[in-house]
Amino acid sequence: MSRRSFLRSTALLSAGVAAVAAGLAPLRKLGEFGSVDEFLQKYYKELTPEEMKAVIARIEAEVERQYGIRPHVRDYKPMNGVEFVYALNLTRCVGCRKCVHSCVAENNQSRNPEIQYIRVLKMPNDGTFDVDKGDHNYAPKSVPEPGFFYMPVQCQQCKNPPCVKVCPVKATWQEPDGITVIDYNWCIGCRYCEAACPYFARRFNFTTPSIPKEQINTNMSYLGNRPRYKGVMEKCHFCTQRTRAGRYPACVEVCPTGSRKFGNILDPESEVSYILKTKRVYVLKPELGTLPRFFYYFDI
């Protein structure tokens, strides 16, 4: 090998190595997204209590690193003899969207772009109940507007959920208390469930959620409102961090007209039992056979 060809090939080789290193440089940031522990985490239903404790400690540390605030993550389990049912009074709802934003605040949804679980449909009061005539984006000075009624739509917590059937990795399932939950560490982000849901109840995190530190709700549940990752699905989970501790969901407490009712259908004394016994109720898209646990009703 001549001296010239040695120098040339050395220069080329070092330039090539530098180029490869520079090209791979963005990968250094990958450390922010996941650790080996997260990658090797087992399926939720296979975790022993000790492993769950370690997982929760890891998630708390992750959230603290990302948002600068120490959360309290718990793995709330379904309660025995409880099946949650939601009832919404269409006669009373005025379409003020307070439920939408209390939900965002309670459940640590991404603020930018803002992910909302509840969509309020402004529907013409023409007796057709045609969802196609509904309008999501109404913004008058004052609600309710004459000639319209308002129908909030969120996850209907179906008894026969199409979203669970299509999940290829079983990252979403129905719990014994009727709540369909997602394990954000198991979801691969294929969005099949979003396509399968007839109620447009599932949302996808296209970017890493951005939440201001002072707006983080530190009472978190593993299957509920802990901050989500980029590229996973999320949905309404009836505020598991509240309802599995016996409290009402955030949307029920904030509703200024008392349109939203929530409770245990297995308890004959609960308000939802009373409503299902005495009121005229209907479910959205009954022809699909999804058997929602979310009932709309009228007062008269």
2-41 residues near another protein, rule: CB under 8 A: 5, 8, 12, 15-16, 18-19, 22-23, 25-26
- Which residue, 165 or 247, is less far from another protein as judged by CB? 247
8-state DSSP, 220: E
Secondary element (H or E) of residue 15: helix 3-24
Give Cα separations from 52 to 75, 98, 203, 240, 289 (angstroms). 8, 35, 26, 17, 36
Coil, helix or strand at residue 85: strand
Is-contact 59 222, C-beta < 8 A? Answer: yes
Among 96, 151, 182, 201, binds another protein (CB under 8 A): 96
We find the least distance from the C-beta atom of residue 187 to another protein, in angstroms, to be 22
Q: Is 157 left (phi over 0), alpha (psi -120 to 50) or beta?
A: left
- The CA-CA-CA angle for residues 54, 56, 58, to 5°, reads 70
Determine which helix (DSSP H) or strand (DSSP E) holds 63, and give its type and residue range: helix 49-67
Q: Out of 47, 104, 171, 201, name the contact with another protein by CB under 8 A.
A: 104
CB 113 to another protein: min, Å:
5
For the bound state, the minimum distance from the C-beta of residue 14 to another protein, rounded and expressed in Å, comes to: 10
Token representation of residue 48: 């022993």
Task: Evaluate the CA torsion angle 54, 235, 137, 190 in order and state its sign.
Answer: positive
Judged by CB, which is closer to another protein: 166, or 270? Answer: 270
What is the Cα–Cα distance from 225 to 223, expressed in whole angstroms?
Answer: 7
Distance of closest approach, residue 263 Cβ to another protein, in angstroms: 5
State the minimum distance, in angstroms, from the CB of residue 183 to another protein: 25
**98: contact with another protein by CB under 8 A:** yes
For position 68 contacting another protein by CB under 8 A, the verdict is: no
Among 58, 74, 119, 191, binds another protein (CB under 8 A): 119
The residue from 129, 138, 186, 204 that contacts another protein (CB under 8 A) is 138
- Considering the complex, state which of residue 44 and residue 238 has its C-beta at the smaller distance from another protein: 238
| Cα separations in angstroms, 215 against 33, 59, 224 | 22, 18, 17
Spatial distance between the Cα atoms of 111 and 101, rounded to a whole number of angstroms = 10
User: What is the total count of residues that contact another protein (CB under 8 A)?
Assistant: 74
Applying the rule CB under 8 A, the residues between 235 and 294 that interact with another protein are 243, 245-248, 252-258, 261-264, 270-271, 274-275, 278-279
- Choose which of 55, 56, 95, 172 interacts with another protein (CB under 8 A): 95
Q: Name the residue nearer to another protein (CB basis): 144 or 173.
A: 144
Contact letters (x/-) for another protein, 198-237, by CB under 8 A? ---------x----x--x----------------------
